[in-house]
Structure 1
Amino acid sequence: MAADGGSFSATLPCVFSPGARRYLAACAPDGRLRIWDPDTGTLRQEHAPSAHLSATCTCIAWGPCRAPQEGPQRKKRKSEVGQLVEQTDLLALGTAAGTVLIYSTVKGDLHSTLDGGHSGGVNCVQWHPQDSLLYSGSDDTHIAEWDLQTGKTRCKWRADRAAVTSLCVSPDGKLLLSAGMTIKMWDLETKEVYRKFTGHSTMVTDLCFATTRPPDSDGLYFLSGASHDRLLSVWQVRSDGKDKNAVVSFTLTDEPRHIDLQTSSSKDEAVRLAVVCKDGQLHLFEHFLNGPCKKPLSPVCSLQVSGVRAGDTPVPVPLLAASLCADRQRLLLAYGSHLQPVLESVPINTSERHVCLVRDLHTALSLSVDAAVSKVKTPIVNDQKSKVLIPGLPGHQAPIRATPSQSEKRKKGPSTKEMSIEERLQHIELGVSSDKAESEGVSASLQVDNCAVLLVQALESRDNKMLNKIFQMKREPLIRNTVARIPPPAVLPLLEELSRRLQGHPFTAVLIVQWLKAVLTQHTSYLSSLPDLVTQLGTLYHMMESRVKVYQQLTRLNGKLYLLMTQVASSSSSHREEDLDHMAKLVYEEDSSDEDEGSGDEGLPEDDSDSWEEDEEKDELMDVMDRKAHEGEEDTREERKTRADLDFDPENESEEE
């Protein structure tokens, strides 16, 4: 039985399936679900939800081992009966969008989607052991009971004032444990609180029932683990209600991330517990739950996996998940990266308190390349005389070239003015543009150096506010120069931060792509020297692949929409042209004169070349007639003028009187 953390934790869910046939379900940083086969160590299935980038998986829970009821019924062989009983088919995935996805490993596809039950992200999911029911806890402080046959919520109730971070159903299916800041035990028939347990000062991340005994016999135990807590607490459900404090506690090296245990059915049977901590170590516990124990119990065995880099430098490899086998003699481990974990079955040796497994991850995950096709030749190097130094590893630091503003002292002159401390702090602010800085007498290199220093400090302190200011820069030369000035140890954290921000809103991704291009262009030589580059860039590769995968369909849709809009626009314009009235509202006619007729005939082509003399005579006659008409008009004007003068002459008026 495995209990999983929720969306409040930074880890990705990774769980082994129950039963004899084991599979590993792991969610990668790109939002995809991958099913691995531990026997062969290969990828069995891969599922990418439609909204895997916007609604990432936050928790995983395997369904109970049941015989499949779908399909036509036929008579089973004796060899098939045992396999069908232990077969695990369904897998529940809680998402940050508030939905629960049911994935079928037999079909290899999405079985159903449960939505409408939560208004916040789902932190935990838990199956009912007998009935076809599923329980989910969310950030909206509610618990939802889902009916898997109808795909709808049967019941929903508020569990606590804070978010519900963990759930667990009792083996008999009558009790439900829920936890946020306080652990509550619910009666599933009445949906009322049966018990309350307080003892953790932080969010409870793991809940597991340790025994299968009924609660009335004072033999029902469960354990709980919280974030930032190095103790696992064991609680006893007593019939008299005196169960306010934990009865047993297990010591850990760090907060628990994954728990797998084998329950006990009687007092004479010990509980075996395997806990994977945040620091990547595994602790094994074995204890008889028969009463309180005041002293914290230490693990009987601690296990850690270590890898080897160049120069025989041991590097710890984090454990992702662990599972106790049914024979109680072996342990199934998953370690390495979520993109391609290494699966291994190791024997349990409790005689040694600390066990360290040294494994070569590059040999286990190396890709086979045909020697006849490959043209790359490996040089022969004498390991005794040569020493390999890789940038970024201990013992080697790349020299950082100082800028001229740092190496040279500022010369004081009569025209230059010394900047005050207040002015220097103002110029460090990222809102100052390069043009404004140059107009105020600040060099562009000073601004770039300040941005590089602020970027390194923000990456080390993980200051999101400062990182948001830095990544809002849009000038490509400023981005390129800033990335070029950061030291090599800060390149990989910058690449991880850019990969994380690239999964957000598309408008944010437009700005992040410029930074990513600058990093891959300026620091290609350093990135190619890293031994685990495939693991670091795997998330970025899968994320880009998922985004580009739908580009062709979007291009086709864009073309179809463009044709449709063009046809709509052309049809509407044709209707407007038909509605126009072609009849003129007003017609203006101008009287034609001889001069206009004569001038209009000048531009016409000549039909007969022999009639040019007659045309010239006509033109001369027309000129004479025009002159006479002009002279006649002048005479009439003079006569009118003399008449007017005579009319207005005062002497003529006196004569008339």
Structure 2
Amino acid sequence: MSLGKKHVLGFSPNGGQLFASVDEHGILRIWDTETNTLKQEFTPNLQVSGPCTALTWVAVAGPRSKKSRKSLQAQDAVNEQLHIALGTLKGAVVIYSLAEGKIARSLSGDNHDGPVTSIVYDNASHLYTVGADCRALVWSLTEERCVAEWQVGPEKPQNIAYLHKSRTLAVGSRQLKVYDVKTKELVETFTGHSGEINGISSIACSDGSEFVLTIAKMERVICFWKIDKKGKNKASACTLLMEDLAYCLTSEVREDGQLRVASVTRNGIIHIYLLNVNCLSADKFVKPKVSLQIASDEAETVEPLLAVAAHFVTDSNRSHEVLFGYGSRQQLQFERFTPNYGEKLNVIVRADPKKLYAKKKGKEQLGFQAATKVQKPIVSQKNVEYNSALPISQKKVQNEVPMEARLQHLKIHGTKLSGGKLLTQSKTQLLMQALHSKDKAMIQAVLSTQDTETIQLTLDRLPLEYVSPLVNELSILLQGKHANVSSALRWLHVLASTHTSVLMSEDKEALREKLAVCLGVAEQRMHCLSEALQITGRVNLIISQMKRNADNHLNDSNALILEEDPDEPAESMEDALLTENNWSDLEDQQDGSIKSNSNDELVADDDLATDDVEANSDSDVSMEE
């Protein structure tokens, strides 16, 4: 049976002695229909394989010991043990052993890129699965790996059925498509359902003809499709009516050609149809021969009990009985009942399973003591990986995106220009991954971006639940080095302008606590801004004066140009250089002496004039002589 609104269930092939079901949490439970006891309960490792999404019963040969040939032949029937093949949410296929009460083996090879939607066994050591990736895979139980695959899309397949005589695989989505298993070719298509097929069953008649029965979502009909590997868009061979939508479908054909079909509807009623395979007609709709309804035995009020599954007993001694289970997924009761076909409605009054379990005390009386294995994975809190960055107490975000698709979204793709630079694009996925994993190196790499356009594109696509963690990371960067502060200010400015409504929608106290660190850092840096501006102005003034003096010295037009004379002595040249170098100093000294001692300068001038007169008179006397 395949997945139809979390109804993953199936009866064992040995006359329905065991019943397996998977609830909405992916927990496998196996019941004994003879004793109405829960035999086993298995919770898969959610991190390794994920919840179960599909199941089917298989007969796998167990390990053989080294004994004589006679003992080996005698134990062949014993070694054939019942197993359950499980398809998981992560696309893998595992084999569950009833004898060991655990996963006996995991099939290797190519897995589905998404959950397995349906699985079927061909009774010849091969499994067939379809998944959300629109592929059909063939698994070999002897080789324990995937051996073949082909595409069955573009519509997502929901259910499959294997037809032994024609060696074909019927895949149901909105249409029913039939593929040849050997050639992997589409040989036949059927149209008629308006919704997705959520239940499928197949029958093989003694004359060699094969039929596939289907039920669909939001439809109250059961369609018959005759498989002959010819034609496309063929109509149904017969249509059966129901009172409500069906969740479970089973069928059986006898050697005399009589066909029995049973469906379990949403309101918990079992409809049973009696047909003749050789007299199927599409001209009119067929109504159920009898309907079974289970009711509680309360004295005051009569409440209906919902049927969960139904199965036809193939035992010759019980050929007319119907095996059905009623109650809830956790508390089931099974019963074999022979319908009265003389009445349209058979009401079966039974005790409510909930009250039956409530009256008993202890797990031993509840029937849980009979469970041989109850396994639950022990996972450390440190090893748990959450799909959402929100705290555990808040609402979890369901994310069923495959891991391969997530990793592809994390890669930063960009086309290169002629200079080798990447075009500006969003880093939203990388930022979400960094905030989710709290990787400091990755956060630093993303928030070190200086390009305003990249920051704007990243924050435009950022989900709202990541705004608060981003503010916390920016407040930490504002307390670091100057390079981190400059980049953090850019991100904070764009974040405040982009997600203003998100920040303002929060409580005032919460918003004040988030921005307290940012405001404190800003006030501290603004406090010393005036002193820093004063020091900067003084330094700039000194540097400008130094530059101006250097320019004036280079542009001086009165600079002395000296030419060396080879005939002149070296000492006279040095004296001349000293005289010229000290010329400006002497002039300054003379100007100062003139201003301070004007009287002394006048006396010195008179003395010089008297000496000149006496020198001239002496020269005249010498010339007369």
Alpha-carbon contact 1:236-1:243 (below 8 Å) kept = no
The 5-angstrom pairing of residues 386-397 of structure 1 reads none
Are 1:368 and 2:360 matched, yes or no? yes
Q: Tell me the secondary structure at the aligned position of residue 394 of structure 2.
A: helix
Q: 2:197 aligns with which of 199, 204, 212?
A: 204
RMSD: 3.5
* AA partner of residue 128 (structure 1): D
Q: Which residue of 2 aligns with 1:408?
A: none
Q: Which residue of 2 aligns with 1:123?
A: 117
Q: Which residue of 2 aligns with 1:32?
A: 27
The 5-angstrom pairing of residues 61-460 of structure 1 reads 61-63=56-58, 68=62, 70-71=64-65, 84=78, 89-114=82-107, 116-130=110-124, 132-172=125-165, 174-213=167-206, 219-238=209-228, 241=231, 244-265=234-255, 268-293=256-281, 294-307=283-296, 312-326=300-314, 327-361=318-352, 362-369=354-361
* AA partner of residue 342 (structure 1): Q
Quick one: distance in 1 between partners of 2:203 and 2:30? 27
* AA partner of residue 394 (structure 2): L
CA shift for structure 1 position 135 = 0.5
Aligned residues: 377
Q: Which residue of 2 aligns with 1:383?
A: none
Alpha-carbon contact 1:98-1:138 (below 8 Å) kept = yes
Q: Tell me the secondary structure at the aligned position of residue 15 of structure 2.
A: coil
Quick one: distance in 1 between partners of 2:85 and 2:166? 18
* AA partner of residue 27 (structure 1): V
CA shift for structure 1 position 155 = 1.0
Alpha-carbon contact 1:283-1:302 (below 8 Å) kept = yes
CA offsets per residue over residues 317-363 of structure 1, 9 Å max, x none?
Answer: 21111111122222222111111212222233222211122222244
CA offsets per residue over residues 542-586 of structure 1, 9 Å max, x none?
Answer: xxxxxxxxxxxxxxxxxxxxxxxxxxxxxxxxxxxxxxxxxxxxx
CA shift for structure 1 position 369 = 3.8
Q: Tell me the secondary structure at the aligned position of residue 123 of structure 2.
A: coil
CA shift for structure 1 position 13 = 1.3
Q: Tell me which stretches of 4 or more aligned residues in structure 1 moved more than 4 Å.
A: 65-81, 238-243, 503-506
Quick one: distance in 2 between partners of 1:340 and 1:52? 28
Q: Which residue of 2 aligns with 1:518?
A: none
Quick one: distance in 1 between partners of 2:305 and 2:320? 23
Quick one: distance in 2 between partners of 1:77 and 1:147? 24
* AA partner of residue 164 (structure 1): P
CA shift for structure 1 position 106 = 2.0
Q: Which residue of 1 aligns with 2:369?
A: none
Residues 189/20 of structure 1: CA separation in 2 closer, same or farther (3 Å cut):
same
Are 1:47 and 2:42 matched, yes or no? yes
Residues 172/292 of structure 1: CA separation in 2 closer, same or farther (3 Å cut):
closer
Identity among equivalent positions (%) equals 24
* AA partner of residue 364 (structure 1): L
Residues 173/133 of structure 1: CA separation in 2 closer, same or farther (3 Å cut):
farther
Q: Which residue of 1 aligns with 2:14?
A: 19
Residues 291/191 of structure 1: CA separation in 2 closer, same or farther (3 Å cut):
farther
Quick one: distance in 2 between partners of 1:347 and 1:78? 39
Q: Which residue of 2 aligns with 1:480?
A: none
Residues 512/53 of structure 1: CA separation in 2 closer, same or farther (3 Å cut):
farther
Quick one: distance in 2 between partners of 1:296 and 1:242? 23
Residues 41/147 of structure 1: CA separation in 2 closer, same or farther (3 Å cut):
same
Where structure 2 has 5 or more consecutive residues not aligned to the other structure, the ranges are: 363-385, 397-595, 605-625
Residues 46/281 of structure 1: CA separation in 2 closer, same or farther (3 Å cut):
same
TM-score (norm 1): 0.52
* AA partner of residue 144 (structure 1): L
Q: Which residue of 2 aligns with 1:60?
A: 55
Q: Which residue of 1 aligns with 2:520?
A: none
Q: 2:393 aligns with which of 502, 506, 510?
A: 510
Q: Which residue of 2 aligns with 1:618?
A: none
Residues 304/137 of structure 1: CA separation in 2 closer, same or farther (3 Å cut):
same
Alpha-carbon contact 2:16-2:311 (below 8 Å) kept = no
Q: Tell me the secondary structure at the aligned position of residue 287 of structure 2.
A: coil
Residues 187/307 of structure 1: CA separation in 2 closer, same or farther (3 Å cut):
same
CA offsets per residue over residues 67-107 of structure 1, 9 Å max, x none?
Answer: 656445675799998x759x651112222222222211122
